[in-house]
Structure 1
Amino acid sequence: MSITTKGIVFSAIKYGEADLIVKCFTQKSGLKTYLLRGVLKSRKGKIKASLFQPLTQIEIVANHKDKGTLEYMKDAKLENMYQSLHTNVVKSTVVMFLSEVLRNAVREEEANPALYNYLETSLEWFDTQEKTVNFHLLFLLKLSRYLGFYPDVPLRKYPVFNLLDGTFQEVETNDACVSDENVVLLQRLLGTDFDELSSIKLNQVTRSGFLLMLLSYYEIHLQGFHKPKSLAVLNEIYN
């Protein structure tokens, strides 16, 4: 079936000498993987390899067999040109980290318009802002809503957060409970929008500690999820 859809690039891996295997989260068809033959050597082809940088927003014309196999992309063009995500060193490092998280976390092979809209709008916000040092923290927290394990907000007044069931409680009941400064920051972020992020001041130790808690939360709730390899690079860039 031929389809035209917007998509966000999650990854592009070189295959052989001239091919790319590209994983995209598409607006109309969910997660799709495409084999692009000869794209790394062809200068005259419709599809340019430069389109497939991490988290680039593109428009795709493709044939989808919807059988869980590699799909065929007929054409692609830039949907939204970022101003800074691939040129600013700090932002590009965050993009690399988030794309790895998304590859591990998003597995839906069907349309999810709400998730697509969240990714699209939050990345566009990130691209246009200058003070974004805590963006990845709020991005991951909000992403958990679309993945099905957003924390239980009504109970957030309690001092303990249970990573196993995503609820706040009065006392610790298992080894997956957290009751340190990470809980205070979590409570604050649950009531924060991206536009309010600049008001939250964190040092690197606090930021790193909270991110590790978030990634542990993801590991508990997503089978097969693991801490991104690019985490070390992210920590280094913020140090």
Structure 2
Amino acid sequence: MNSQTGFLLSSIKYGENDAILHCFTEEEGFQSYFLKGIYSKRNKKKALLLPLNQLNFSLNPGKGNGISSILTFELVKSNDLYSDIRTNTVVFFISDFLNQNLKHENKNPNIFFCLNEFIDELALKNYQSHLIFLIKILTIQGVSPLLNNGEYLDPETGTFSLNLSHQLFNREISSIWKDIIASHTPYEIKIPQSLRKDFLDSILVYCHYHMTDFRIPISLEVIQQIFE
């Protein structure tokens, strides 16, 4: 038996009462766990299975290549992110993004710390924090753009050039990318409301070029509608 701490990215019902949890853990990166009986009528802990909740698990290692089973789990800290429709939408979008695009990520303390930092910002009603967080993830993974004197970000090469190469990456959007990458306090940068939709679209285009097997989160349409 061992213990792991991780952020819940998704839970999938398995059979009538069981579940498979996908988590990003502090100790081992992306992991999947089997949780028995969580959906039985008497089990009140199902209420803890909310995206990006930070949980501590006691585990029974799986045999051979089998996944570990969760014996017990507890909430590490409580965040009131689910009563506000905007923060709730951001939580589901980011958990969806991470669940689809971190499946091959091993232990990475920087990503774990970055998730903690992002949730703290979101708890403070920073409604643009997901945009900053996604750029920080690209930076941690070593695929963020290289800064130079160019005005327009070329999403395919990951460099700034003197000429527009993609319609989304105009001077304003490219400037926001530069500001976030160069800043030591990027969460303090204010992204104009009128540019946030295009800026998020630009991040997803960039991810398409630079993240292996990148998939657009299925919750994209919802978050775009909420923040229109």
What is the TM-score of this pair, normalised by structure 1? 0.86
- Name the residue aligned to 1:165: 157
1:92 lines up with 2:88 in the alignment? yes
Q: Is the 8 A contact 1:12 1:22 kept in 2?
A: yes
Q: Per-residue displacement from partner, 1:156-188 (whole Å, max 9, x unpaired)?
A: x3112121232212335x669934421122122
- Name the residue aligned to 1:196: 188
What secondary structure is seen at the aligned counterpart in 2 of 1:110?
coil
Q: Measure the CA separation in 2 of the matches of 1:48 and 1:140.
A: 30
Letter in 2 for 1:70: I
Q: Per-residue displacement from partner, 1:82-138 (whole Å, max 9, x unpaired)?
A: 1x21221110000000011101121245321121111122212321x13x1211111
1:229 lines up with 2:218 in the alignment? yes
Q: Structure 1 residues 146 and 190, CA, compared in 2 at 3 Å: closer, same or farther?
A: closer
Alignment of 1:45-124 (within 5 A): 48-65=45-62, 69-82=66-79, 84-108=80-104, 110-124=106-120
Letter in 1 for 2:172: E
Letter in 1 for 2:140: Y
Q: Is the 8 A contact 2:155 2:166 kept in 1?
A: no
Q: Measure the CA separation in 2 of the matches of 1:159 and 1:109.
A: 32
Question: Deviation of residue 75 (structure 1)?
Answer: 1.2
Q: Structure 1 residues 35 and 107, CA, compared in 2 at 3 Å: closer, same or farther?
A: same
Question: Deviation of residue 208 (structure 1)?
Answer: 0.4
Q: Is the 8 A contact 1:144 1:150 kept in 2?
A: yes
Q: Structure 1 residues 92 and 68, CA, compared in 2 at 3 Å: closer, same or farther?
A: farther
Q: Measure the CA separation in 2 of the matches of 1:41 and 1:158.
A: 58
Q: Identity rate of aligned residues, in percent? A: 26
What secondary structure is seen at the aligned counterpart in 2 of 1:74?
strand
Q: In angstroms, what is the RMSD of aligned CA positions?
A: 2.3
Letter in 2 for 1:77: E
What is the TM-score of this pair, normalised by structure 2? 0.89
Q: Measure the CA separation in 2 of the matches of 1:66 and 1:184.
A: 51
Q: Measure the CA separation in 2 of the matches of 1:171 and 1:117.
A: 36
Q: Structure 1 residues 62 and 164, CA, compared in 2 at 3 Å: closer, same or farther?
A: same
Counterpart selection for 2:199 from 210, 227, 235: 210
What secondary structure is seen at the aligned counterpart in 1 of 2:113?
helix
Q: Is the 8 A contact 1:63 1:73 kept in 2?
A: yes
Q: Structure 1 residues 223 and 72, CA, compared in 2 at 3 Å: closer, same or farther?
A: same
In structure 1, the gaps of 5 or more residues are none
Q: Measure the CA separation in 2 of the matches of 1:133 and 1:31.
A: 26
Q: Number of aligned residue pairs: give it.
A: 227
Q: Measure the CA separation in 2 of the matches of 1:159 and 1:66.
A: 54
